[in-house]
Structures are given as structure tokens and as C-alpha cells.
Amino acid sequence: MADYQPADSGFALDRDCKTLSRHVLEQLHSFGPEAQDLSALMNRIALAGKLIARHLSRAGLMESALGFTGETNVQGEAVKKMDIYANDVFISVFKQSGLVCRLASEEMEKPYYIPENCPIGRYTLLYDPIDGSSNVDINLNVGSIFSIRRQQGDDLDHTGADLLQDGHQQLAAGYILYGPSTVLVYSIGRGVHAFVLDPSLGEFILATEDIRVPAHGPTYSVNEGNFWQWEDAIRDFTRYVHRHDGYSARYTGALVADFHRILTQGGVFLYPGTTKKPEGKLRLLYETAPLAFLIEQAGGRASTGHEDIMSVMPGEIHQRTPFIVGSTDDVALVESFIQDHSRRQSTLLST
Ligand code: P6P
């Protein structure tokens, strides 16, 4: 009797078996402890994404799923019920996982430490549970952003001081985009890969491997309502793209959605400093650093306008940074306006 040979089921069946956890192990060409940990961490994140996607899809039909809680978070922003739901989903899926020691989130002033009666792991999850929550009540794109770091030291005082490291300390980063389909994009430092949730399977299935951001793209994505709050250099960049053919403005109000467009089609997203928020609005540890990790893995760039986001050393967990991210040529164009203005200012000061 000849050995059994599977029928040539073709691409479809094999792709449906390329789940996220298997993909992580293949990426690492290893089944060692750290590879297994990263695979398990990504699996937990996928579970959180499925739970949040399910809640979002039914929110319009559920009492008290939408709207505001009436609270204000550490950012001084009004908290949406969906923010709290999603924040608690990540805690629930990681609490008994034995993978993490703490979770740091936009919605929590201090990190949440896994209780003593739960298994403690050696990783930290930093996340924005629902990014773009102003879109939740109007059924537009929102996302979750995550970053994984290894605990360094013992953090016995529970201040999370060892988290105040630059973006190169990230082991993995990614986001989940909740839209017509639910897409999970991640990197463990070996390229950027996108998975699409197949609701009939309840699995994220590999859709695109090794995403590369084009060197230039037609999109510039910025909230021009802040025009008069920007520094002159950013205003001059905006005037430049207004005057030159080949540029289109796209802005959804949800960072993950705008970033996903830039990652896949090229261009540049900006959230510069303003007179009200000189450091910008976006937070480093769980928004700009994870996305900077991804864009660099995809061949693009992320800058504050003066230095790479990946090199910024945070002074505190909720530190904000200006954010210029996307195609290498387009980020460089924005930086050139900033450098020109700096040169002109130093010339004026020296005369
Ligand atoms: P603005 C959502 O609140 C968020 O943090 C990002 O998702 C988004 O890019 C930005 O703020 C939008 O801010 O000031 O343009 O409404």
C-alpha cells in the first residue's frame, strides 16, 4: 500500500491552515521557549481582537455599549464605554495566560499588574485598546494598537520605570483594524504581515506577507483644522502639497485606519505639535513607537520631525510625540521644510 498523498487541495486549504500562531513560529524558524512565548502572545492578542470585533459589530443593537462613561482618562479625554470594554478584554485574555507581568494602556494611569494569585510572565503588553474611539458611535473604522516588551529588572516598586526605553526594545508590535473586515497586522522584527479574520472559522488567516511601503505615495493625511496651530514649517509643507499635482488628502480621525492606508499605498501621515499640544497628541509607548516599528520593518520611516521615533527615550509612560510617518521620500520632504526653517531661524539669530 503506497503512502497516503493528500489531494492537491491547492492554495485555499493550505492558506486557511496558515494561522497566526503557526506563522510566528515559521518566522522564527524555532520552537524554542521565546518563539513559543511570542506565538502564544500573538494568539492572545488575536483572541482580544475577535472579542472586540464581535462587540463592535453588535454595539448598535446593545443597550449601553455605545456612548460615554462620563469619566475622563489620564489623557484628559472623555472615556467611551467601548474604550473600557476593550481595555478590560485585553486584561481578561492575558490575566491567566502566564505570559505577562503587567499591561500598560492609554486608559490606565499606571500599569495593571497581574495579581499574585495568577501566573506571572516576563513580558509587558502596552496597548491602546480602542484607537479612534470618536468613530465608534458612527460605525467608522477604529483600531487597537499593541507593543510587546520584555520585563527588564524586577520592577518591585511597580512604577514600570524599566518601560521607559526606546522603541528598539520592542519585541513585537502591531494593530488590529476593525472595518468591513477585521485585519491584524504585526511584526516580530522579520517583516510586516497582515491577517484577515475569517468569521466562519474564527481564525485570522494570512492575507499578505512582507508588506513593503512604496518610497512615495499620493496621500498626505493630517487634520488641517489645526493649520493655524502648527509651526510655520508644517504650514509650508501643506501649502506645497496644495500647489503640486499628484497629492490627495485623506484623514479618518482614526490613526490605525490612516496608518494602514499609508503602510499599504504609501504617502505620509502627520500629527505635528500644536500650540495647545507642542508634543503632539499621540502617545509614544503604545501608539507612535509600535507604528514606527512596523513602518521601519516595511521599509518606511517615522520621525518626530527632528529624530527617529524609534530613538525617542520616554520620560513617562504616557509621553506624547509629534508623529510624521510613511514613505521614505515623503517623510524626508516634511523634514526638509523643518530643517529649512531651523536654518533660517539660526541665521536670523546669528545676525
Ligand atoms: P484629531 C483618536 O482620538 C486619535 O488618538 C487618533 O486615533 C487620531 O489619529 C487622532 O486622535 C485624531 O485627533 O485632533 O485630528 O481629532
- Tell whether 188 and 225 lie within a shared domain: no
Answer whether 134 contacts ligand 1 (Cβ < 6 A): yes
Ligand 1 atom at minimal distance to the Cα of residue 128: 5
Give residue 153's Cα distance to chain centre: 26
Ligand 1 atom at minimal distance to the Cα of residue 225: 15
CATH classification at residue 270: 3.40.190.80
| Distances in whole angstroms, Cα of residue 59 to Cα of each of 45, 73, 85, 336, 349 | 21, 22, 11, 45, 57
Answer whether 254 contacts ligand 1 (Cβ < 6 A): yes
Answer whether 224 contacts ligand 1 (Cβ < 6 A): no
- Tell whether 141 and 289 lie within a shared domain: no
Instruction: Tell whether pTM > 0.85.
Output: yes
pLDDT at 176: 98
Answer whether 253 contacts ligand 1 (Cβ < 6 A): yes
Q: What angle do CA 85, 90, 94 make, to 5 degrees?
A: 145
- Beta-carbon contacts of 176 under 8 Å, excluding residues fewer than 6 positions away, are 45, 48, 49, 52, 53, 143, 144, 146, 182, 183, 184, 185, 256
- Tell whether 68 and 154 lie within a shared domain: yes
Answer whether 261 contacts ligand 1 (Cβ < 6 A): no
How confident is the chain (351 residues) per 10-residue block, as mean pLDDT?
A: 75 74 86 89 97 92 80 82 94 97 95 95 97 91 97 87 96 97 97 96 94 98 98 98 97 98 98 95 98 98 98 97 98 97 86 78
Answer whether 223 contacts ligand 1 (Cβ < 6 A): yes
Domain of 130 in residue numbering reads as: 12-208
Answer whether 132 contacts ligand 1 (Cβ < 6 A): yes
Q: What sign does the CA torsion over 184, 41, 104, 165 have?
A: negative
- Tell whether 243 and 200 lie within a shared domain: no
CATH classification at residue 114: 3.30.540.10
pLDDT at 309: 98
Q: Distance between terminal CA atoms of the chain? A: 92
- Pocket-testing residue among 271, 288, 320, 323, ligand 1, by greatest number of atoms within 8 A of Cβ: 271
* Cα of 281 from ligand 1 centre, angstroms: 7
3-state secondary structure of 52: helix
pLDDT at 9: 59
- Tell whether 186 and 227 lie within a shared domain: no
With beta carbons less than 8 A apart as the criterion, state whether 49 and 177 touch: no
pLDDT at 11: 65
- Tell whether 107 and 128 lie within a shared domain: yes
Last residue within a domain, chosen from 157, 186, 208 = 208
